[in-house]
Amino acid sequence: MSAREAKAVKSPVERTPQALGVQDRELLEMYYYVRLARAVDERMWALQRSGQAAFVISGQGHEGAQVGTVYALDRDKDWLVPFYRSVAAVLVKGMPPAEIFLIQLSKATDPSSGGRQMPGHYGHSGHKILSTSSPVTTQLLHADGIAYAAKLRGTGEICVTEVGEGATSEGDFHEALNFAAVHKLGVIFLVENNGYAISVPVSKQMAVPNVSARAAGYGMPGVTVDGSHVLDVYVAARDAVARARRGDGPTLLEVKVPRLTAHSSDDRQEKYRSADEILHTKEHDPVHVFAAELRAWGVLGEAQERQIAERVRRAVDEGTELAEAAPAVDPATATRYVYYEHDAPPGRGR
């Protein structure tokens, strides 16, 4: 075990999976998704750098926060209202890598928008993933709407929505949290705090160290967890899900995560982050920290590691091939869903 891994296994919360009632099978499934999300993300960059995709907005570093949280949902019944870094979240919710690459390549069969949205704007009606808008923080109000409808209809569905810490400065954040708390809605507000809003550090965004401190002002629990420790995220999310399911209302779950890439493929983070900081951020990489923890708990051996790596490699390669072979969008349909089409089939442009 390297010095970095030895440091990593000392979780601030010395809790074991057994004590928390989490089975090895569940931990290994979460680890698979963490690894899958990283590999899908790396492939997205390769597609962009080779000129096939226009743009990448990465989830690298956010995998532990998203896998730990979405894994706590009933993935068939509940809803996800994602943001642009939600690669891991949409995978856990059921979107296969091939569909992520269809979105990335803006193909006609892209399930989010048929090639109409920018890459990173995830949505999938079949998997109960709400379509993503470009203005940050609007999605929190959509999550409230979903949870309010579920409450009125008595369906028992709950909703996770994701947002960055910078976006919590928007007025929509206040409105969404206040409304959810007043009406005791089953929403989990997952704030993925990666320390930056593009180039703006969190210290210029807010005068409190943790976003979760704001929860008290709305009358809901606020929790801050280290996103490198996936088990800790999962346990916090499990508590929030149980509270929402009981009808006791929303939770503000802040997960501190490392931003392991530039903001997007259009950004150069070396302009505003020192080389030293970029290097040290890697110490919090959830892929390595979680793997070290699983080994220390005796959950992950070499054979399983190899098996998981092979499964991930196959899923990413097959997904890329499927997406690359898929048909491009027909330019003649560019205005579809924007303007009324007289001769469109029912449901198209009407």
Ligand X SMILES: Cc1ncc(C[n+]2csc(CCOP(=O)(O)OP(=O)(O)O)c2C)c(N)n1
Distance between terminal CA atoms of the chain? 60
- The helix or strand, by DSSP H or E, that contains position 253, with its residue range, turns out to be strand 251-256
Neighbouring C-beta atoms of residue 246, cutoff 10 Å: 10
Q: Between 185 and 197, whose beta carbon lies closer to Mg ion?
A: 197
Q: Is 86 in the site for Mg ion (CB under 5 A)?
A: no
Site for Mg ion in 162-181 (CB under 5 A): 164-166
- Residue 331: which of ligand X, Mg ion, none does it interact with, CB under 5 to 8 A by kind? none
Burial class of residue 346 (count of CB atoms within 10 Å of its CB; 0-12, 13-18, 19+): exposed
Closest to 254 in 3D by CA, of 295, 222, 209, 219: 222
CA count, 13 A, side-chain hemisphere, 97: 25
Which residue is at the shortest CB distance from Mg ion?
A: 164
Query: What is the rounded distance in angstroms from the CA atom of residue 159 to the CA atom of residue 188?
Result: 6
Residues contributing to the site for ligand X (CB under 6 A): 85, 134-136, 164-167, 192, 194, 196-198, 263
Q: Between 106 and 194, whose beta carbon lies closer to ligand X?
A: 194
Contacting residue, 86, 194, 205, 212, with Mg ion by CB under 5 A: 194
Minimum distance, C-beta of residue 154 to ligand X, in the bound complex (Å): 34
Dihedral over alpha carbons 67, 70, 73, 78 (to 10 degrees): -150
- Residue 135: which of Mg ion, ligand X, none does it interact with, CB under 5 to 8 A by kind? ligand X
Which residue is at the shortest CB distance from ligand X?
A: 164
- Residue 167: which of ligand X, Mg ion, none does it interact with, CB under 5 to 8 A by kind? ligand X
Q: Between 79 and 84, whose beta carbon lies closer to ligand X?
A: 84
Site for Mg ion in 195-234 (CB under 5 A): 196-197
Minimum distance, C-beta of residue 56 to ligand X, in the bound complex (Å): 13
Minimum distance, C-beta of residue 83 to ligand X, in the bound complex (Å): 7
CA count, 13 A, side-chain hemisphere, 91: 32
3-state DSSP assignment of residue 178: helix
Q: How many residues contact Mg ion, by CB under 5 A?
A: 6
The residues that touch Mg ion, with contacts defined as CB under 5 A, are: 164-166, 194, 196-197
